[in-house]
Amino acid sequence: MRLYAAVAVSAFKRYATYRIATVAGVFTNTVFGFILAYTYTALWDERPHLGGYDLSQALTFVWLGQALLAATAVMGGGVQEELQERIRSGDIAVDLYRPVDLQLWWLAGDLGRALFQLLGRGVVPLTLGALAFRLTLPASPLTWLWFLLSVTLGVCVGFAVRYLVALAAFWLFDVAGLSMLSGLLCLFFSGMILPLHVFPGRLGEVARALPWSAILQVPADVFLEEHRGAGLLWAFGFQAAWAVVLLAAGRLLQSVATRKVVVQGG
Amino acid sequence: MWVRSTMAYRTSFLLMTLGNFAATGLDFVAIALMFSHIGSLGGFTLPEVALLYGTTSTAFGLADLLLGTMERIGRRVRDGTMDTLLVRPVPILAQVAADRFALRRLGRISQGALLLGWALVRLDIDWTLDRVLLMPVMLLSGGVIFGSVFVLGGAFQFWAADASEVQNSVTYGGNTLLQYPPTIFAKELLRGVTFVIPLAFVNWLPALHILGRPDPLGLPGWIGFGAPLVAAGCCAPAGLAWRAGLRAYRSTGS
CA separation, residue A146 to residues A232, A245, B100, B169 (Å): 8, 22, 45, 32
pLDDT band (50, 70, 90) for residue A92: confident
C-alpha to C-alpha distance for A111 and A63, rounded to whole angstroms: 22
Q: Kindly report the nearest CA distance between residue A38 and chain B, in angstroms.
A: 6
Dihedral-angle region of residue A49 (phi above 0 means left; psi in -120 to 50 means alpha; beta otherwise): left
User: Who contacts B102 (Cβ-Cβ below 8 Å, separation ≥6)?
Assistant: B2, B6, B16, B65, B68
Q: Is the pLDDT of residue A264 over 50?
A: yes
Structural contact between residues A111 and A190, judged by C-beta atoms closer than 8 angstroms: no
C-alpha to C-alpha distance for B179 and A58, rounded to whole angstroms: 20
pLDDT band (50, 70, 90) for residue A262: low
- What residues in A contact B77, CB-CB < 8 Å? none
Q: Is B229 on the interface with A (CB under 8 A)?
A: no
- What residues in A contact B162, CB-CB < 8 Å? 18, 20-21, 24
C-alpha to C-alpha distance for A234 and A232, rounded to whole angstroms: 5
Measure CB to CB from residue A177 to each of B12, B33, B176 and give the nearest one.
Answer: B12
**Of the listed ranges A19-28, A202-211, B73-82, B217-226, the one predicted with least confidence:** B73-82
Cα angle value B174/B160/B179 (rounded, 5°): 5
Q: Is B23 on the interface with A (CB under 8 A)?
A: yes
pLDDT band (50, 70, 90) for residue A178: confident
- What residues in A contact B163, CB-CB < 8 Å? 20-21, 23-24
Q: Kindly report the nearest CA distance between residue B243 and chain A, in angstroms.
A: 23
- What residues in A contact B18, CB-CB < 8 Å? 177, 181
SS percent in chain A: helix, strand, coil, step 5:
75, 0, 25
- Contact call for B189 and A34, based on CB within 8 A: yes
- What residues in B contact A120, CB-CB < 8 Å? none
ipTM: 0.87
DSSP letter at A136?
A: -
Q: What confidence tens digit (pLDDT) does each residue in B29-38 have?
A: 999 999 999 9
C-alpha to C-alpha distance for A70 and A121, rounded to whole angstroms: 7
DSSP string of chain B, one letter each residue: -HHHHHHHSHHHHHHHHHHHHHHHHHHHHHHHHHHTT-S-BTTB-HHHHHHHHHHHHHHHHHHHHHHGGGGGHHHHHHHTTHHHHHHSSS-HHHHHHHTT--GGGHHHHHHHHHHHHHHHHHS-----HHHHHHHHHHHHHHHHHHHHHHHHHHHHTTTSTT-HHHHHHHHHHHHHHHTS-GGGS-HHHHHIIIIIS-GGGTTHHHHHHHHT---TT---GGGGGGHHHHHHHHHHHHHHHHHHHHHH---S--
Q: Is the pLDDT of residue B21 over 80?
A: no
When pLDDT is averaged across residues A3-10 and rounded to a whole number, the result is 92
C-alpha to C-alpha distance for A77 and A69, rounded to whole angstroms: 12
- Contact call for A194 and B33, based on CB within 8 A: yes
Q: Kindly report the nearest CA distance between residue B217 and chain A, in angstroms.
A: 17
Measure CB to CB from residue B16 to each of A27, A34, A177 and give the nearest one.
Answer: A177
* Residue with the larger pLDDT of the pair B4 and A225: A225
Q: Is A46 on the interface with B (CB under 8 A)?
A: yes
When pLDDT is averaged across residues B117-138 and rounded to a whole number, the result is 92
**Of the listed ranges B17-31, B43-57, B207-221, the one predicted with least confidence:** B17-31
- What residues in B contact A177, CB-CB < 8 Å? 9, 11-16, 18-19, 104
- Comparing CA positions, the residue from B153, B135, B159, B161 lying closest to residue B63 is B153
C-alpha to C-alpha distance for A244 and A180, rounded to whole angstroms: 24
Dihedral-angle region of residue A262 (phi above 0 means left; psi in -120 to 50 means alpha; beta otherwise): beta
Q: Is A201 on the interface with B (CB under 8 A)?
A: no
C-alpha to C-alpha distance for B174 and B63, rounded to whole angstroms: 13
Q: Kindly report the nearest CA distance between residue B159 and chain A, in angstroms.
A: 11
Range 111-150 of B in CB contact (< 8 A) with A:
none
pLDDT band (50, 70, 90) for residue A266: very low
Q: Is A25 on the interface with B (CB under 8 A)?
A: yes
Which range has the top average pLDDT, A90-99, A255-264, B157-166, B173-182?
B173-182
- Comparing CA positions, the residue from A114, A197, A205, A127 lying closest to residue A157 is A114
Strand partners, B44: B41
Count the neighbouring beta carbons within 10 Å of the beta carbon of residue A137: 13
Q: Is the pLDDT of residue B45 over 70?
A: yes
When pLDDT is averaged across residues B2-11 and rounded to a whole number, the result is 67
C-alpha to C-alpha distance for B203 and B119, rounded to whole angstroms: 14
Q: Is B186 on the interface with A (CB under 8 A)?
A: yes
Q: Is B162 on the interface with A (CB under 8 A)?
A: yes
Closest-CA residue in chain A for B176?
A: A35
Q: What confidence tens digit (pLDDT) does each residue in A17-41 have?
A: 888 889 999 999 999 999 999 999 9
A233 burial level (CB within 10 Å; 0-12, 13-18, 19+) = exposed
When pLDDT is averaged across residues A208-231 and rounded to a whole number, the result is 95
pLDDT of residue B8: 66
pLDDT band (50, 70, 90) for residue A216: very high
Q: Count Cβ–Cβ pairs < 8 Å, chain A vs chain B.
A: 111
Q: Among residues of chain A, what percentage have pLDDT more than 70?
A: 97
Structural contact between residues A147 and A223, judged by C-beta atoms closer than 8 angstroms: yes
pLDDT of residue B250: 78
- Contact call for B184 and A38, based on CB within 8 A: yes
- Contact call for A43 and B166, based on CB within 8 A: no
Q: Is the pLDDT of residue B6 over 90?
A: no
DSSP letter at A137?
A: -
pLDDT of residue B57: 93
> Three-state SS for A18?
coil
pLDDT of residue A265: 52
- Contact call for B162 and A18, based on CB within 8 A: yes
Q: Give, for A105, the enclosing helix (H) or strand (E).
A: helix A102-117
- Contact call for B22 and A181, based on CB within 8 A: yes
pLDDT of residue B254: 45
When pLDDT is averaged across residues A169-196 and rounded to a whole number, the result is 86
Per-chain mean pLDDT for chain A: 91
- What residues in A contact B41, CB-CB < 8 Å? 39, 42-43, 46
DSSP letter at A259?
A: T
Residue type, A206: V
Q: Kindly report the nearest CA distance between residue A244 and chain B, in angstroms.
A: 28
* Residue with the larger pLDDT of the pair A264 and A100: A100
Best probe of the A interface among B12, B73, B172, by most A CBs < 10 A, is B12
C-alpha to C-alpha distance for A211 and A74, rounded to whole angstroms: 12
pLDDT of residue A195: 96
Per-chain mean pLDDT for chain B: 86
Strand partners, B41: B44
B25 burial level (CB within 10 Å; 0-12, 13-18, 19+) = buried
Q: Is A206 on the interface with B (CB under 8 A)?
A: no
**Of the listed ranges A5-9, A181-185, B36-40, B199-203, the one predicted with least confidence:** A181-185
DSSP letter at A121?
A: I
C-alpha to C-alpha distance for B73 and B161, rounded to whole angstroms: 8
